[in-house]
Structure 1
Amino acid sequence: MMINLEARRLVLFVADGLRADALYELDENGNSRAPFIRNIIMHEGSWGISHTRVPTESRPGHVALIAGFYEDVSAVAKGWKENPVEFDSLFNESKYTWSWGSPDILPMFAKGASGDHVYTYSYDAKREDFGAQDATKLDT
Structure 2
Amino acid sequence: MTLLLFKLNEDDQLLHDVEQKLRENPDIESLVPAKPDEPLPQDCCGLSCEPCVFDIYRKDLIVWAKECAEPLGLSCSNKDDDEEKRSATEIFSRKQYRSLKLIGVEALTHDTNLYRFELPCASIDFPLCSHLIMR
Fold agreement, TM-score > 0.5: no
Higher helix fraction (1 or 2)? 2
- Give the TM-score normalised by structure 1: 0.27
Q: Which has the higher relative contact order, 1 or 2, with Cα contacts under 8 A spaced 6 or more apart?
A: 2
Q: If you compute each CA radius of gyration, which structure gives the higher value, 1 or 2?
A: 1
Higher strand fraction (1 or 2)? 2
